[in-house]
Amino acid sequence: MAVHFIHIPKTGGTGIRTLLGEGGRPETPYGPIRLHKHSWTLQRLRPGDYAFFCVRAPVPRFVSAFYSRLRKGQPRYFYEWLPEEREAFARFPTPQALASALADDDPAAIKAMGDIQHVNAHQHHSVSRRDLQRKADQILFIARTEHLNREWPLLKKAVGLPAHLELPTDPVVTHRNPYAPQELDGRGKAAIRSWYARDLRIVRLCEEIRRQRAMIARPPGGRAGVLLRRGVAAGRAALRSAARER
């Protein structure tokens, strides 16, 4: 029995991996923590094991992925551009430029979306609808990257992590984007959402599971700081409902 952290690219997982790796991969009530590369998916989760992971809205994830490769992973890493990436960034120097061209069905933009690392990674490759349905009982927590700091106490409790563990804040350690975020225009956002349509459906399904299983922390100032978990049965009901809608 073990707990696996599924690291979906550009969903804030670097900070979690760093914390748990440097923390000696602490034991939990569900077994020891197992950390993996991006290629490890929910499909590989064996009976008797458990998992947790983060998902992220497609538009900010695309922007983060674009800038990560634009800076070649620096300052935390350094991975030189592939020839195809060099060509893509020469033609599309900003996320807006690429998204606008994608909205125009520009063949070069379509090619760039497949050539730029991380941009070409999809969340549904890591956690498919089928696996979310089949392995619901084994999912301890699904966090949203957008609210990870607020949800961290809930995640720790659900997974059984030591209460003293806190997420790193150093932008280098967390591999955070040092650029000022660029807001895509409406047309660009629509093009990105269309490109990642399957990911968007996965995020929405995960959000439904989160609501049903009370994996959501209220914003500061609410009457209750944290919703109580309601158990696996409600999560299963959400998954069955989503399956009927397919």
| Distance of alpha carbon 207 from alpha carbon 214, whole angstroms | 10
Task: Tell me the per-residue pLDDT of 163-197, one tens digit each, with 9 for 90 and over.
Answer: 989 987 765 554 456 666 678 999 999 999 999 99
Higher pLDDT among residues 73 and 101, named by residue: 101
Q: Is there a contact between 148 and 56 (Cβ–Cβ < 8 Å)? A: no
Give the percent of the chain with pLDDT over 70.
Answer: 82
| Distance of alpha carbon 193 from alpha carbon 69, whole angstroms | 20
In the chain, where does DSSP find H-type helix? 13-22, 58-70, 83-91, 95-103, 107-115, 123-126, 129-134, 148-159, 186-195, 197-212, 232-245
Give whole-number Cα distances, 38 to 9, 60, 63, in Å.
6, 19, 19
pLDDT on residue 172:
52
Number of other CB atoms surrounding residue 227 within 10 Å: 16
Which CATH number fits the domain that encloses residue 129?
3.40.50
Task: Tell me the per-residue pLDDT of 113-167, one tens digit each, with 9 for 90 and over.
Answer: 999 999 999 999 999 999 999 998 999 999 999 999 999 999 999 999 999 899 8
Contacts of 232 (CB under 8 A, 6+ apart): 136, 137, 213
pLDDT on residue 214:
81
Task: Tell me the per-residue pLDDT of 198-240, one tens digit each, with 9 for 90 and over.
Answer: 999 999 999 999 998 888 876 655 433 333 334 334 444 444 4
Angle between helices 186-195 and 58-70 (to 10 degrees): 90
| Distance of alpha carbon 217 from alpha carbon 199, whole angstroms | 23
Domain around 128: 3-245
Q: How far is CA 232 from the centre of its chain?
A: 22
Count of domains for the chain:
1
Question: Alpha-carbon torsion 190, 150, 72, 4, what sign?
Answer: negative
36 pLDDT more than 70: yes
| Distance of alpha carbon 154 from alpha carbon 105, whole angstroms | 42
Considering the chain, what is the average pLDDT of its residues?
85
pLDDT on residue 146:
93
Number of other CB atoms surrounding residue 60 within 10 Å: 17
